């Protein structure tokens, strides 16, 4: 937990979705959730960062609670609120595995767009899902972002080939996690899974999987090439991505995946 807070204290989350290669994850996620989030929902976002999704949904008329473990991120959310009028958005510092401050069934929607892939302890990850479902009303939506382990090695080849070694690959693909201080680690504490593995994991809970897609395909790995596309060509690429993001073979190599579940 401390490692993650240290990392996000120095990373500028405000820049995360400004590049086209990263924005496509955001746009794809919003598009998928449009089909399942009810009007005027009560939304809890776990791992809200500096609020890209929280502000979007609050501006759409939803009642949003943004929770993040990094105090500086919540400070930025509370500062930015002054730029918006008539929105319902509360920023709270907190641990996504302990939602005891919220009543059971308090939210129609829970968005988990970071904690799942930053929690490397298996029991804590299970607690994350159990708590998310506890605070979710019956029939409510739980959306979880994850990082596909099979996307990592191509990304390393393209961007940081010094981490192409047996230790890093084994920890990502075989073990499924890296600690931020590990010599094999290219990031902070992080968990990696596959589309099949996360479906099997979620099927242990009383939920129905309603959608599953790759939110950025190869855009993260090919970030420079995607960012250099003209506006017209990026629009064509984006539409291609929207059409194919649920194709299982593409889902299997997408850097970020999104699994959307309904609480039974």
According to the model, what pLDDT value does residue 18 have? 84
Domain of 131 in residue numbering reads as 2-263
According to the model, what pLDDT value does residue 4 have? 54
According to the model, what pLDDT value does residue 231 have? 96
Q: What total number of domains does the chain contain?
A: 1
Angle of CA points 67, 186, 155, to nearest 5°: 95
75-132 residue pLDDT tens: 999 999 988 889 999 999 999 999 999 999 999 999 999 999 999 999 999 999 999 9
According to the model, what pLDDT value does residue 38 have? 86
Contacts of 80 (CB under 8 A, 6+ apart): 50, 51, 55
Positions in the chain whose pLDDT score sits under 50? 7, 10
* pTM, rounded to two decimals: 0.94
According to the model, what pLDDT value does residue 8 have? 53
**CA-to-CA distance for 173 and 199, rounded, in angstroms?**
17
According to the model, what pLDDT value does residue 7 have? 46
CATH number for the domain spanning 163: value is 3.40.50.150
Tokens representing residue 100 in the block: 């005891």
According to the model, what pLDDT value does residue 85 have? 86
């Amino acid at each position: 937990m401390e490692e993650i807070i240290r990392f996000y204290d120095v990373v500028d989350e405000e820049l995360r979705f400004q590049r086209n290669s990263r924005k496509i994850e955001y746009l794809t996620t919003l598009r998928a959730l449009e089909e399942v989030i009810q009007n005027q929902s009560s939304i809890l976002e776990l791992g809200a960062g500096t609020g890209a999704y929280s502000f979007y949904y609050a501006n759409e008329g939803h009642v949003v609670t943004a929770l993040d473990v990094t105090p500086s991120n919540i400070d930025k959310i509370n500062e930015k609120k002054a730029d918006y009028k008539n929105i319902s958005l509360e920023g709270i510092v907190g641990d996504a595995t302990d939602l005891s401050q919220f009543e059971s069934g308090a939210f129609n929607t829970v968005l988990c767009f970071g904690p799942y892939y930053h929690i490397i302890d298996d029991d804590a990850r299970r607690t994350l899902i159990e708590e998310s479902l506890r605070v979710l009303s019956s029939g409510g939506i739980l959306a979880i972002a994850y990082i596909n382990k099979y996307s990592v090695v191509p990304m390393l080849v393209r961007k940081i080939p010094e981490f192409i070694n047996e230790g890093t690959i084994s920890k990502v693909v075989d073990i499924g996690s890296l600690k931020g201080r590990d010599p094999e680690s290219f990031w902070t504490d992080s968990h990696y899974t596959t589309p099949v593995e996360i479906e099997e994991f979620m099927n242990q809970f009383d939920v129905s999987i309603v959608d599953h897609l790759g939110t950025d395909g190869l855009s993260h790995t090919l970030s420079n090439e995607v960012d250099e596309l003209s506006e017209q060509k990026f629009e064509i690429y984006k539409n291609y991505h929207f059409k194919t993001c649920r194709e299982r073979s593409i889902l299997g190599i997408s850097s970020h995946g999104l699994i959307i579940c309904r609480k039974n």
